[in-house]
Amino acid sequence: MCGLGIGWRLAQAGCRVDIFDKGAIGRGASHAAAGMLATGVETEPGELALLQLNLRSQRAWPAFAGEVEAASGRDIGYRGDGTLVIALTRDDERHLRFLHDFHRGAGVDVALIGGGEARQREPYLNPRIPAAVWSPNDHQVDNRALTAALAEAAARAGARLHPDSAVEAVGIGDSRAAGVVVAGETVPADAVVLAAGAWSRTVGGLEPAALPPVRPVKGQMLALQMDPDAPLLCHVLWAPGVYLVPRRDGRLLIGATVEEKGFDDTITAGGQYALLDAAWRALPGIEELPIAETWVGFRPGSRDDAPILGPGPVDGLVYATGHHRNGILLAPVTADLVSRFVLTGALDPALAPFTLARFDPAVEPGPAALAAE
Ligand SMILES: Cc1cc2nc3c(=O)[nH]c(=O)nc-3n(C[C@H](O)[C@H](O)[C@H](O)COP(=O)(O)OP(=O)(O)OC[C@H]3O[C@@H](n4cnc5c(N)ncnc54)[C@H](O)[C@@H]3O)c2cc1C
């Protein structure tokens, strides 16, 4: 999806753009995600630089959604309903209060509310909830519809999409990225954007220093089917160990495990049981719902969980990878700021903490260190 967004923007600007995918277009992590645009609830202490980027992208989302829909002629299921985070025990409540105070201190609009008020918003919640946090600006988008719409928008703007066309290597000529090698042939380019998600280290032709430190972080999910006319849940819900995302068509997404298992795509009883058990504790009525789908995706996790954006050690090679848990949220800023860098060579200050250079200790501290200063 990062590649589609950047490719769309570059094609809009009049560039000749080719987007290669080793499989079907847009079927990586962006297809597997839950589509939460979660700035107010996802950020952990120590991620303040990332929080600023997340907030910027969150603010850009309403206009971005409108633009993608207009450019593609497709509905992307953007819903501005907000998010509820619930505690189930007194221990959870203490943790919730701590995160609430941290988020408020960082300028995020969140409010602590009582269990009764939470149940007014969502009547089918477990009645024993002691407290909740209401995050009015954390919305959602249908990420599968989004990737399809971005592909359509990019194609309409003139980008050429190449499914089932793995990039074997970045072609290097005169010490700079000069194109990509696909099926043994070099496709020349003025600039190459590496946006291969969790697979970003598998692309050949690059010295170790130019390989982004990205690994797959496995996530299992499932979807239940609610009655769309009488949904059990209307807002995105976070509960201990799980989140639940209701779609307009009645699908209720439940996610996600976080597993360090490489590219193992097994759906396990333990993973699914843990998700269902945690979801059932929050919303007991789910036990009657049919299971519609189970799946696995691979988050592109970097060494500090923040994205890797902009230039690196090879001229002409630009990075847009490592988005980990926030790639859907970060779609607008990734598309806008990375394409602007490709077009102008000017790095937006918002991207400066997120270049590959931060992983070289001799060059720069990482975002976490910057945030602490
Ligand atoms: C279970 C789960 C839930 C998530 N939930 C959310 C959420 O609610 N909100 C949020 O903001 N983020 C979420 N994320 C994270 C988000 O999905 C990712 O950060 C984002 O999708 C990354 O986008 P990407 O374009 O970098 O990677 P991908 O979507 O994985 O795209 C990379 C593409 O590169 C292609 N590729 C790989 N190698 C090659 C090659 N050699 N040649 C050509 N093509 C290649 C792949 O086929 C793939 O299509 C979730 C992730 C998972 C797994």
The per-residue pLDDT for range 256-287, each reduced to its tens digit, is: 999 999 999 999 999 999 999 999 999 999 99
| 372: pLDDT strictly greater than 90 | no
Task: Report residue 41 CA to chain centroid gap.
Answer: 14
Ligand 1 centroid distance, CA of 46 (Å): 24
Ligand 1 centroid distance, CA of 212 (Å): 15
Tell me: do 248 and 352 sit in the same domain: no
Task: Say yes or no: CB of residue 256 within 6 Å of ligand 1.
Answer: yes
64-68 average pLDDT score: 98
Instruction: Please provide the size of the chain in residues.
Output: 373
pLDDT tens for 13-53 read 999 999 999 999 999 999 999 999 998 777 777 788 899 99
Count the neighbouring beta carbons within 10 Å of the beta carbon of residue 289: 17
Tell me: do 291 and 352 sit in the same domain: no
Q: Do 331 and 224 form a contact (C-beta atoms < 8 A)?
A: no
Tell me: do 156 and 71 sit in the same domain: yes
Tell me: do 131 and 171 sit in the same domain: no
Ligand 1 centroid distance, CA of 24 (Å): 13
pLDDT at 371: 43
Q: Hey, what are 111's tokens? A: 């409010």
48-57, 216-225, 247-256: least confident range = 48-57
User: In the chain, how many domains are there?
Assistant: 2
Tell me: do 25 and 114 sit in the same domain: no
Structural domain that includes position 222: 83-136+215-300
Tell me: do 312 and 194 sit in the same domain: yes
Task: Say yes or no: CB of residue 36 within 6 Å of ligand 1.
Answer: yes
Tell me: do 149 and 71 sit in the same domain: yes
Burial class (CB in 10 A: 0-12, 13-18, 19+), 270: exposed
**What is the rounded CA–CA span in Å between residue 216 and residue 114?**
38
Q: Do 180 and 206 form a contact (C-beta atoms < 8 A)?
A: no
Tell me: do 199 and 281 sit in the same domain: no
Q: In angstroms, how far apart are the furthest CA atoms of the chain?
A: 66
Q: What is the mean pLDDT of the chain?
A: 94
Task: Say yes or no: CB of residue 335 within 6 Å of ligand 1.
Answer: no
Residue 165, classed as helix, strand or coil, is coil
pLDDT at 48: 83
Residue-by-residue DSSP string for 103-151: HHHTT---EEEEHHHHHHH-TTS-TT--EEEEETT-EE--HHHHHHHHH
**What is the rounded CA–CA span in Å between residue 224 and residue 284?**
13
pTM across the whole model: 0.95
Which of 282, 300, 318 is a domain's end point? Answer: 300
Pocket test for ligand 1, best of 19, 21, 318 (most atoms within 8 A of CB): 21
Which of 300, 334, 349 is a domain's end point? Answer: 300
**What is the rounded CA–CA span in Å between residue 68 and residue 202?**
30
Q: Which atom of ligand 1 is nearest to the CA of 35?
A: 8
Task: Say yes or no: CB of residue 219 within 6 Å of ligand 1.
Answer: yes
Q: Which atom of ligand 1 is nearest to the CA of 20?
A: 43
Residue nearest to atom 33 of ligand 1 (CA): 196
| 116: pLDDT strictly greater than 80 | yes
Sheet holding 83-86, edge to edge: 111-114, 131-135, 83-86, 236-239, 242-246, 251-255, 214-225, 291-302
| 74: pLDDT strictly greater than 80 | yes
Residues 6+ apart with CB under 8 A from 353: 49, 306, 366, 367, 370
Tell me: do 38 and 91 sit in the same domain: no
